[in-house]
Structure formats: structure tokens, C-alpha cells
Structure 1
Amino acid sequence: MLELQSLVQNFYAESIKLTSATFASAMTNLLPGLTFLIAILFRLENLMLNTIAGKAKVMGTIMGICGAMILTFYKGSEILTSSAGLNILECNKPHHQSFLGPVLAIVSCLFAAFSFNIQKLLSDNYPYPYSSTALICVFGAIQSVVYALTFDRDWSHWKLEFNISLLVPLYAGLVASVVVICIMSWCFQVKSPLFVAVFNPLMPIIVAIASKLLLDEKLYLGSIIGSVIIVCGLYLVLWGKAKDTTRGPHAEGTDMTLCRPLCR
């Protein structure tokens, strides 16, 4: 199950190819809700709707998803009309959405939600983020090679030149995989899967800023409204987690939970 991250990235990349980056980014907003539901099934989270903390976590998760959806699908009036971006791409190819693209995006989010919860269980029993990250990357690399050889046997496509086709794999491997998984593994030791997943709706905000700076895309009022709702939902979930009084085997916020990696 350590190679779920590889499936997440492969399915997500294929979804972008079949649809668009905007659509695939919007679909990832399902991740906090799916992670919360799976965490409840794994008994890593308690719903506790009879408490203020439980209601805050549920409402914050819903607000984060709704805010990200508004940011992605609602444009409104254009805010910044001046051209301040670099536009590193010479042209933008039109994307044709197919039925398979949305399905792959949903499957990618589902695998990511399972991966978050499994990494939480792994960190509870093996609290060593660096070695666990190495294991995840090794199994993911093996799976990715099998995946690539299965769907693309043209060896000319494996040739990398010193351009964006080389920089993208390096960034995805070193930053998006090694650094991100290592940081998430550490977060899983002291927090819960929902705590990690709830930050995912911040991605459309970063995408909007990066698209303006690098691709010279337009910034609309919907981006600002969605960003505000996302931040409000995020802090509502964090407040609920801080007020969570659960003392189960996976409870967080206690001294033993924070000290456990140091005591082993």
C-alpha cells in the first residue's frame, strides 16, 4: 500500500492530459471530505456531532470544499487587467474533456485519501519519516516504471532534454514527492489525516497566483471570494481540532502523542 502515492500522481497526470489543469485541480477539492470519511471508517477521527468541536470540523471541511469550488468555477469580474506575468508557455493547447478524465481525477483523490490514512497508521507504528519516505519513493518508482512501460513503449518518449521536460520530472520527484511526503509523514505523527488533507484546498489559491505570475492568466473576483472562504474553513477546522477532547488511541493534542516519536 506504500505505492498509493504513485497511483495518485499517475492518475492525476493522466486526468490533466484528458481534461485540463483547472478541472483536475477542482476535483482535488474532494480530498478533505474523502479523507474525513475514510478516517472515520478507520477510527482515526471521531465525528462527534454532539460537540462544538465536531460540528466545527465538519463545517470547516464543507466550507473549504465550497470555497475551492467557487474559486475554480466562478469567475466574476476581472481584477487585475495589466499584464504582469511571464507567460513561459508559447501557446496554450485547448483541452477536450472526456468521460475518462473526471473518473481518473476522482480515483486519484480516492487513492490520496486512503494514502493519508494509511500513512497515519504507518507513522503510529513506524515513527521515522525519512526512512518511511524512502520506502514510499522506492516502491513508487518501481510502480511508475511498470506503469510507464505498460502504456508507453516508444523509447523516443523517454529521452529528456535540458528544458522543461527535464525540469518538471526533477521538481516532481525531488519536491513534490520526497520533500512533500517527508513533511506529511512528520505531520501524521503529531496530527491526524484530516489535519493534513484540510490544507489541500489552499492549492487552487497557489495555482491562481502561480498562473498569474508564470502563465499571465487573468485573476477574477471569484478567486478572491473563494480564497476567503477557504481560509475561514481552514481555521474553523483547526479550531475544532484544538478543541477536540477525544482521548482515544489516535487522539492528538496530548503530550504522549507529541513525545511518542522521541520515546521510541
Structure 2
Amino acid sequence: MVLSPSLSLTALLEHPFLLLLATVIVFAAFYVRATIGFGSGLIAVAMLTLLFPIKEVVPVVLLLDLLGSVLLGAYDFHEIRWPELRWLVPGSFVGLAIGSFILAATDAQNLTRFLGVFILAYVVYALALKPEGLPRVSLPWGVPLGIFGGIVGSLYGGGGPPIVAYLQMRHLDKRAFRATFQGIALTDNVLRVFMYVGLSLLTVPLALGFLLLVPPLLLGLWAGNHLHMRINQRIFLYGTLLVLALVGCKYLL
């Protein structure tokens, strides 16, 4: 059940218990983000919409994701694989435009189910081969999967699954995977910020409310980064598949 309090600064300060719940959710979301490189948007949106209106949750989570992408991208800057981004980013631009037209002209719910089936099929495929046994795709595959990721990002607020699949099949090590994903996520987030401001979805009160959630974001990134540095590549690969499976189930349901 969605409650009346909003994610604005004033409303959060007037409801300290809800602020505490939001703080715990944001910490958990960015703990996962720092550990495996993605997933914060899914977790934060799914949980915060139980407490706040979705039209406020999505813009605030966008700002949180943008900050998370900047911080992780800066921390891992020397690990970014720029050749991957040179193919992914142009495809993502095209996909974001296509997704906007699809969103305006069709029922996105049916597309959501298709995306859930696609993600779960990929997870089953990857588990059958074992992640380390996935075929190695060439760089140009970044264009179609970037387009697919851009479409997903435009429709659902995050194009992670197709990009994750591409980077897994490029067989990047865990640090390069996390760093390169931040590059494409940052591109997507910046474009969406301009779009949300233009549509008046991102307002000053919500931006001020976002500032209250920065401390748990920073703590989650710090704690998750410690785990990221300790887990081995195999556990990392299976962790990404687990999060993808949860994303696929969410889209189907």
C-alpha cells in the first residue's frame, strides 16, 4: 500500500520512521551495486514504491543511480574497457530514442513480460554452459545489445540486463565488468535526468530529499566495495546471474 508521505525533504523530515526505512533500502541497494556492479535501481524502486508514490521514487532513484555511477566509475576509472563503450554507447542512444516511441505508442506491459522471458532464458543458458563457458562475442555485438539496453532503459528505467549479458560474454574480469557497466549507466542516467527535468518529474523538493539519502548510498558503496574486492571471479559471475534471475521474475510478475 502506497502511503501519502513523499520523498521531498520536508516530508521525509516529518516522517522519521519512513526516512529510516528509505535509508535501509538505499543502503541495501547500493551494497548490491558496489558488489556486482548493477541492480541498485531494481531494488530501490521495487522497495521504495511500497512506501512512496512511484512518480517520486523513479526520479529520486535516478539521482541516486547517477551519483553511484559517478563514484564507482571514478574509483574504477583505470579499469574501464573503452572499446566496449565505443560500441555500446551509440547503440544505447538509438535504443533510448526507439524506446520512447514504443512507450508512447504501445502497451509496455506486454513488452515487460517479453523482457522477463528473455532474461530468464539467458540465465538458464548461462547456467547450462556455466558462466565461464559462455561463448565470447565480438565487439560489434555491443551495438545491437546496446540498442536493446537503451530500449529497456527508456521503458523501465534501467537497461542493465542486455548490457550485463554482453559484458559477461566479453569475459571481463569482475573489476573491469563493474567499471565498464558504470560508463554505460552514466550515459543513460545523464540523458534521463534531462528528460525528467523537461517533463517536470524531477523537482527541487525531490532533489533536496535525494540529499538525505546520500549518506546510506555512500555507506552501501563502501561496504559493497569491500565485498567486491574479496569475492572470487566465479562467485561474482553467479552473483550477477542471481540478480538477473530476480530481475526477470520481477518483469514477469
Same fold (TM over 0.5): no
Please tell me whether Structure 1 or Structure 2 has the larger radius of gyration of its CA atoms: 1
Tell me: higher relative CO, structure 1 or 2? Use CA pairs within 8 A at least 6 residues apart.
1
Q: Scaled by the length of structure 2, what TM-score is found?
A: 0.32
Give the TM-score, by structure 1 length: 0.31
